[in-house]
A and B are shown apart, each in its own frame.
Chain A
Amino acid sequence: MFKMMFRVLALMILAGSAFATPTFVFTAIPDQDETQLKQRFQKVADYLQQELQTEVRFIPVKSYAATITAFRNNQVQLAWFGGLSGVKARELVPGSRAVAQGVEDPEFKSYFIAHQSTGLSAADRLPQSIDGLTFTFGSKGSTSGRLMPEYHLREQFGQSPDELFKRVGFSGNHSRTIALVESGAYQLGALNYKVWDAAVEAGKVDTAKVKVIWETPTYPDYQWTLRGDLDAAYGEGFTDRVEQALLKMNDPELLSSFPRQGFIPASNSDFEPVRKVAKQIGLLD
Chain B
Amino acid sequence: MNQIKQLVNGVLKGNRRSIAKTITLIENNPHEAQKAVSKLYPHTGKAHIIGITGPTGSGKSTLIEKLVKELRKKRKRVGIIAVDPSSPFTGGAFLGDRIRMQKLSTDKEVFIRSMATRNSPGGLARATRDAVKVLDASGKDVVIVETVGAGQSEVDIIKVAHTVVVVLAPGLGDDIQAIKAGMMEIGDIFVVNKADRENADEAVIDIETMLNMGSEKEKWRPPVIKTTATKDEGTAMLLNRINQHMKYLKKEVFDIQRRQKAETELIEAIKQKTTDSIIDELRRKGELEKLVQEILAKKTDPYSAADALLKERLKRFRTNG
Partners in one complex: no
Q: Which residues of B come within 8 Å of A, CB atoms? A: none
Binding site for B on A (CB under 8 A): none
